[in-house]
Amino acid sequence: MNQKEVILVVDVALLGCGGSMPMPNRFLSSLLINYKGRKILIDCGEGTQVSMRILGWGFKSIDIILITHSHGDHTVGLPGLLATIGNSGRTNPITIIGPKGISDIIKGLRVIAPYLPYDINIIEAESKACDFKITSEGLKITEKNHEISISNLELEHSSACLGYSLYINRKPKFDVEKATSNLVPKILWSRLQRGEVISFEGNKYEPEMVLGDERSGIKISYITDTRPIVAIPEFIFGSDLFICEGTYGDDNDLEKAKINKHMTFTEAAELAKAGNVKELILTHFSPAMLEPGKFLDSAVNIFENTVIGSDRLVKTLVYNK
């Protein structure tokens, strides 16, 4: 039996990189993650649907929506998006995760989108992880054999706000020698590799009997809106991609950042360095900062692999080692 190597591929699109108010060439905060055709959306500011339409990834396969906090530049696009998802033909439930009080926020926003052809399951996160696996109906919460784990961290903003970290598992490589030494019938190999536990001819067979050591997956972290609290570096540690707010590019705006509970480019870069991430994308730019690229050196001087975010910036993360 030929066991093919599985390459882990995750596509990430920054749909909007603005904060506070939409600009002619900059929509508000939103990020879309695409894995095996299933999608996770983080925040839904104004312009999210427009960017998604231009991107062309579709609406129907959004299974999970993560909301960082209740402010309008992160949520106002939600009612229209939910309606569009319904018009796309979706009937399977959608999971929405957010900070304490998110249930009331969703209820209020849905006054203008009361009738949907699918259910919404709302989770008010309390600094715990939710695990998901891909099923025939999309990403569903599971207690075992999960493919994606979503963790959250309470941040420091003017309202209850969460940061998110997503870890996409990479299944262990199939070990032919281990399967053979454990006398596992070849007819069961594929099912065990998929994570099934099987009773066959009076014996019980588990995935561990045919799989090798655990392998690294892909980690994506998203932090906005907040001051740079001490818990962030550990939370984002080792991320393949770290998307972080950089509301202010100029270090002279530090006092303004402190008052408004936001960050400068310099502070975001310091977090990226402390968290030993591979790449930093700056986002959530103040509408007063028309050309964020002018301040890029403030971040690059601290963390070299820094990119200025832009609407519909796409990153493809591939892990094939």
- Residues with a catalytic annotation lie at 73
Which conformational region is residue 62 in: left (phi greater than 0), alpha (psi within -120 to 50 degrees), or beta?
beta
Q: Which helix (H) or strand (E) holds 239?
A: none
C-alpha to C-alpha distance for 29 and 14, rounded to whole angstroms:
8
Kind of pairing between the strands at 280-283 and 241-245? parallel
Spatial CB neighbours of 87, under 8 Å, sequence gap ≥ 6? none
- Cβ atoms of 102 and 122 within 8 Å: the answer is yes
Are the beta carbons of 133 and 146 closer than 8 angstroms?
A: yes
From the list 210, 182, 178, 183, the residue with the least C-alpha distance to 196 is: 210
Is residue 180 a contact partner of residue 162, using CB atoms and an 8 Å limit?
no
The b-or-e profile of 76-110 (16+ CB within 10 A means b, else e) is: bbbbbbbbbbbeeebebebbbbbbeebeebbeebb
Instruction: Specify the length of the chain in residues.
Output: 321
> Which residue shows structure tokens 């009076």?
202
Q: How far is CA 81 from CA 22, 150, 168, in A?
A: 17, 22, 25
Round to whole Å and give the CA distance between 65 and 247.
23
**Other beta carbons less than 10 A from residue 198's beta carbon:** 16
Helix boundaries (H) for the chain: 48-55, 72-75, 78-87, 102-109, 176-181, 189-193, 232-236, 254-260, 265-274, 296-300
